[in-house]
């Protein structure tokens, strides 16, 4: 079985080393790894054309995979990396199993509470809102309910773990747990 | 043809009015609207169980739709709402056409540049990075390349428009343009 390895670690300086470690761990758990970047867009393409071609290559790689493990660690803000989330939705839309991990154990509710500096109010309908009026999901979830639901309703799990700040996108503790659980569920 | 209407306007106090306006516009353009919330999770469900049931309902609604129009206006930060992005990926994974709009015309590159206070550097490989070491996609795109690519590679468009700050999630100028383009492409 092939697994697509999604996550914002592609943006760190040590991306290649982390992806190589993920590939090795994936093989050790009995799966065939598929990574964004396994195929490269033609070097002749520049600018936006190169971005579009990279998207096409990554979608082709996803279509070759049987399930996904997504790194949902918050990225440049309080929510998961949207590129990774697109890929998670893409694989779920194909009906594939999904697993995820995050290196910030704090849940969605607490992160948004912190974003608003604790300034929440409940309106007359019972909805909890920030000072900007935006409603906040008060469920005990890792991120927006579509992410948690997409994964858990497919019998997957989201592993929460607190990584050291300098290992935020390279700590693979949660990734390894995902592999162990996926192997038990999918290779039985 | 049925269109799934995704976007963070479900979180504003005037959500119902905006959704009703979207529904009316959609019908006027010859499509059948499908909205998150068209079906409700059982009222007996509380907490996380309710969140998971809502995800299941929304996925069922997406499975009934033929294409998607997504509101990618940045939400609680510099990127699109991750719930909406999951839904965009989900529909693209099913092979459906996708259209989107954003009510902040500024592109991804400029928003991240601003996030870093202009503090970018180019490393020895040519990658542009923030002070935290995270690489920045320098393409002229609305958001992460998987979002722009998923839409444009399916012949869809992302309409950019600058809404008034108090109409950030209720201005439907871009939504209407998506409907016009979709009608031309899909109802011909």
For the stretch B95-104, pLDDT in tens is 999 999 999 9
The DSSP secondary structure of A90-153, one letter per residue, reads HHHHTT--EEEEES--S-HHHHHHHHTTT--EE-TTS-EE-TT--B---SS-SS-HHHHHHHHT
Q: According to the model, what pLDDT value does residue A188 have?
A: 80
Average pLDDT over residues A82-95: 98
- Which residues lie closer than 8 Å to B108 by C-beta, 6 or more apart? B137, B139, B141, B142, B143, B144
CB B30 within 8 A of CB B180: no
Is the pLDDT score of A13 beyond 80? yes
Return the SS3 of A181: helix
Return the SS3 of B60: helix
B40 pLDDT band (50/70/90 cuts)? confident
Is the pLDDT score of B155 beyond 80? yes
Average pLDDT over residues B42-63: 94
Q: According to the model, what pLDDT value does residue A39 have?
A: 83
Mean pLDDT of chain B: 96
B146 interfacial to chain A (CB closer than 8 Å): yes
A170 interfacial to chain B (CB closer than 8 Å): no
- With an 8 Å Cβ cutoff, are B146 and A58 in contact? yes
CA distance linking residue A144 with residue A114, whole number of Å: 16
The fold of A2-106+144-186 is Rossmann fold (3.40.50)
Token readout for A94 is 């194909």
Q: According to the model, what pLDDT value does residue A42 have?
A: 87
Q: How many CB atoms lie within 10 A of CB A44?
A: 8
Is the pLDDT score of B163 beyond 90? yes
Q: According to the model, what pLDDT value does residue B65 have?
A: 98
Q: How many CB atoms lie within 10 A of CB A153?
A: 15
CB A88 within 8 A of CB B89: yes
Surface of B (25-64) touching A: CB under 8 A: 47-48, 50-52, 54-56, 58-59, 62
ipTM over 0.85: yes
CA distance linking residue A42 with residue A10, whole number of Å: 19
List the end-to-end C-alpha distance of chain A, in Å, as a whole number: 12
Is the pLDDT score of B38 beyond 80? no
Q: According to the model, what pLDDT value does residue A43 have?
A: 84
A36 pLDDT band (50/70/90 cuts)? confident
- With an 8 Å Cβ cutoff, are A77 and B77 in contact? yes
Residues of A in contact with B140 (CB under 8 A): 47-48
User: Could you tell me the residue ranges of all domains in chain B?
Assistant: 2-106+157-186
Q: According to the model, what pLDDT value does residue B42 have?
A: 87
B1 pLDDT band (50/70/90 cuts)? very high
Average pLDDT over residues A60-81: 98
B19 interfacial to chain A (CB closer than 8 Å): no
Residues of B in contact with A59 (CB under 8 A): 92, 149-150, 153
Is the pLDDT score of A12 beyond 90? yes
Which of B90, B92, B153 is opposite residue A52, by nearest beta carbon? Answer: B153
Residue-wise pLDDT for B4-37, tens only, equals 999 999 999 999 999 999 999 999 999 999 998 8
Is the pLDDT score of A77 beyond 90? yes
Least confident of A35-49, A138-152, A163-177, B55-69: A35-49
Is the pLDDT score of B188 beyond 90? no
CATH number of the B2-106+157-186 domain: 3.40.50.450
Nearest Cα residue to A67 out of A146, A151, A174, A140: A151
């Amino acid at each position: 079985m092939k697994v697509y390895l999604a996550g914002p670690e592609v943006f760190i300086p040590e991306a290649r080393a982390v992806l190589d470690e993920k590939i090795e761990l994936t093989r050790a758990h009995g799966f065939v790894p598929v990574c964004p970047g396994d195929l490269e867009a033609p070097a002749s393409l520049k600018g936006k054309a190169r971005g579009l071609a990279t998207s096409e290559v990554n979608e082709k790689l996803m279509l070759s995979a049987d399930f996904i493990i997504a790194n949902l660690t918050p990225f440049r803000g309080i929510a998961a990396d949207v590129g990774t989330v697109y890929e998670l939705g893409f694989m779920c839309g194909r009906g594939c199993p999904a697993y995820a991990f995050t290196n910030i154990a704090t849940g969605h509710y607490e992160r948004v509470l912190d974003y608003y500096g604790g300034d929440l109010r409940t309106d007359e309908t019972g909805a909890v809102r920030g000072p900007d009026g935006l409603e906040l999901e008060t469920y005990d979830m890792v991120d927006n309910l579509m992410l948690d639901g997409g994964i858990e309703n497919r019998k997957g799990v989201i592993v929460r773990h607190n990584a050291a700040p300098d290992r935020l996108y390279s700590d693979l503790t949660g990734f390894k747990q995902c592999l162990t659980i996926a192997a038990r569920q999918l290779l039985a």
